[in-house]
Amino acid sequence: MLTGAELLVFVLQAGLSLAPSRSAMVSTAAAPVPTELAVRITSPLGRTGTPGSIRIVAQIQSAQDATLGPVRFYVDGQLLQTDSDGAPYVAEWVDENPFERREIAVSVSDAIGHEVRDRVVLEPYDLVEESQVTSVLVEAGVQDKNGRFLKNVPASSFTVLEDGVPQVLDLAQQETVGGTFALLVDSSGSMSRRLEFVQRTAGLLYDYLTPLDRVIVAPFTKSLRSLTGPTDDRKTVAEAIRAIGCSGGTAILDSLLELAHRFPESEGRRVVILITDGYDENSVSAIDEVIAAVKGARVTVYAVAIGGVAGVSLKGEKVLRRLAAETGGRVFLPSTEPQLELVHTALVEEVRNRYLLTYTPTNQNHDGQWRRITVQLPDPTYHIAARPGYFAPKAAPVRPTIEFTATDPQGAYLSISADDLEVVEDHVAQQVETFHEATQPVSIVLVLDASGSMRRRETDVMASARAFVAALRPEDKVGIMLFADDVTLVQDLTADRAASNQAIDSYKTGGGTAFYDAVSAALNRLERTEGRRVIVAMTDGRDENNPGTAPGSTHTLNDVKRQLKENGTTMFTIGLGTKVDAAPLKDLADLSGGRALLPQDVSELGNEFQRVVEDLRRRYVVGYTSTNGERNGQWRNVSITLKSAPQVTVRSAGGYSAPER
């Protein structure tokens, strides 16, 4: 259980942006660099968060008669590869850890020594992993009407309401817990006469902390100065306090806001002890913004208002009281040394004499809204100091990735860049964040029709299937599935080409055509597979039983369509001959972003398999953070077009299903 915090949402945020940064650098040769010579990295321009092989692509522009040297590819300043074979200029690179920053650079020079260079910075991918709001911790101090802390209050006496709704307590007990305590010390010029008093205050407060606690010393003027800590070393804290000097203006709210953003993640209590005279003449932050940030950081503010050169600011006192009240803390106003001793005692009692109350909220919505907490006891004369609420977790961003191909009107595959793309989700334009060629390994289930009508084509089917398997990359995995009256996975996914060929050799025909059952079985198998998933299904007829009087499958076309849409698998259908039922094959291919191929004769089968291989090698992946952050499991339509070439055909699945909560 995560103590001190309301949210069990674990966030690994190695970077704040998925968008790549880019700069072009040109060498400073004696003569100007010809404008015709230029290099631009066009892929990758961001990350998808998946480790694996990446194809780095560079476009070179030069004069027609220019003689170019080798194109050099670098990763983090280290030479990765050179390319001297002419366009396309590419290099293969394995992005083993997408959670680390990487810099890709490409350079090229001409015969007279002019060099141009381009670079792309791949910022670390931020992974958001979420769970339910499983526990809320409330720390409460209880005082009687005379201000004395009450101990041993029975757990059954406490009532906790969230937004007015009673909650069931999982735990209610008095406990001393460790925590992180930040001494936010005003070191502006207005505190110069009380510097020794301020240092003494900070030093004495540290004396009351326990070995379980960690301390941060944070002096501030118009902004935070150098921080010390978090540390549990007394000498380090003492030296940091002694080193505080007074000068300059004051920005209490700005400094508290900065500290809230920089507060380290830790279990236990999170406390800021603010020592100041309350004069804030330089802050630009609004108090509501600061309070929201402090609440979001789960920090309680205790303010010790010490009169500086002009005493304690009345306006500042009002601000301090609001900061403390809305975060569950208190304000102390000592004016003399003896009163300071009383402050120490009261503050320590306030910090230490707390009841820990935990509950599992009945409201589990991830809406990022403020939830108001009320703690009650039967005796209305008791004063209860507790945090007034917490912010519910926000749903993780929705970050789809869409795989697609782009072809011209003649069907030729096009080379494109991220700048060419327009992505629209449900009529709303999206900002492209990642773009690269789809080079990740593919898991392919090859589904072959082994019905009786294929008997005279056995030899050609086996030869074409072997050629298809041989043309795939070594890292791609293939499974072989045969269907007639029944469906059989004769070889599970493997990169062992000999095993795949042995499975193909078992191809024997006879029986009906349970095509939809075969597609469903292939989808079920791929559902357990990570990464890119593809079905290549070949048939020569329609779904029918052996006599040809009824369907051959228990699944219907609509069943398979629904499953395919939810599965995220790309499907290529090959309809062989003149009796094939072409319409459903086209529907399935179009629905998944694949292609339907309809050869008239078995002699064309090998060429169609090769077209599938080519399509797999000419695909792109685009990623973005959806403007619709709702996680409702609903289908979202996504269109991808090229800005300058609307006549280009883009094939994709046409959208994605939003994740559910």
Residues of the chain with pLDDT under 50: 1-34, 127-131
The answer to whether residues 83 and 160 belong to one domain is no
Taking a C-beta distance cutoff of 8 angstroms, is the pair 621, 48 a contact? yes
Same-domain pairing of 207 and 331:
yes
Q: Cα(552)–Cα(542) distance, rounded to whole angstroms? A: 9
Distance between CA 420 and CA 500 in Å, rounded? 40
Does residue 290 sit in the same domain as residue 146?
no
Residue 44 lies in a domain: yes
* Neighbouring residues of 186: CB distance < 8 A, sequence distance ≥ 6: 198, 219, 220, 221, 250, 252, 274, 275, 276, 277, 308
Q: Which pLDDT score is estimated for 502?
A: 96
Report if residue 1 sits inside a domain: no
Q: Does a structural domain hold residue 578?
A: yes
Residue 26: per-residue pLDDT: 36
Residues 506 and 551 in one domain: yes
Q: Is 646 exposed, middle or buried (0-12, 13-18, 19+ CB in 10 A)?
A: exposed
**Structural domains in the chain (count):** 5
Distance between CA atoms of residues 138 and 388, nearest Å: 9
261: tokens are: 């953003």
Considering the domain boundaries, does residue 484 fall inside one? yes
Clarify whether residues 503 and 570 are in a common domain.
yes
62 and 92 in a single domain? The answer is yes
Tokens (6 digits) for 267: 């279990």
Furthest C-alpha separation in the chain: 105
Burial letters 597-608, b for 16+ CB under 10 A, else e:
bbbeebebbbeb
Evaluate whether residue 293 is within a structural domain: yes
Q: What is the pLDDT at residue 130? A: 44
Reduced 3-state DSSP string for 137-190: EEEEEEECCCCCECCCCCHHHCEEEECCEECCEEEEEECCCCEEEEEEEECCHH
Q: Does residue 298 form part of some domain?
A: yes
Q: What's the pLDDT score for residue 128?
A: 45
Q: Residues 191, 333: one domain?
A: yes
Verify that 300 and 387 share a domain, yes or no: no
Q: Contact, 292 vs 326, CB < 8 A?
A: no
Residues 385, 489 share a domain: no
pLDDT score recorded for residue 228: 80
DSSP 8-state secondary structure symbol assigned to residue 493: E
Dihedral (CA of 325, 327, 330, 331) sign = negative
Contacts of 65 (CB under 8 A, 6+ apart): none
In a domain, 2, yes or no: no
Q: Are residues 297 and 320 in the same domain?
A: yes
Q: What is the CATH number of the domain that holds 455?
A: 3.40.50.410
User: What pLDDT was estimated at residue 230?
Assistant: 80
pTM listed for this prediction? 0.59
100 and 239 together in one domain: no
Residue 430 lies in a domain: yes
DSSP 254-297: HHHHHHHHHPPP-SSEEEEEEEE----SS--S-HHHHHHHHHHT
Q: What's the domain range around 451?
A: 442-618
Q: What is the pLDDT of residue 35?
A: 54
Nearest Cα neighbor of 13 from 370, 397, 402, 271 is 397
Tokens of 276: 């100041």
Residues 305 and 282 in one domain: yes
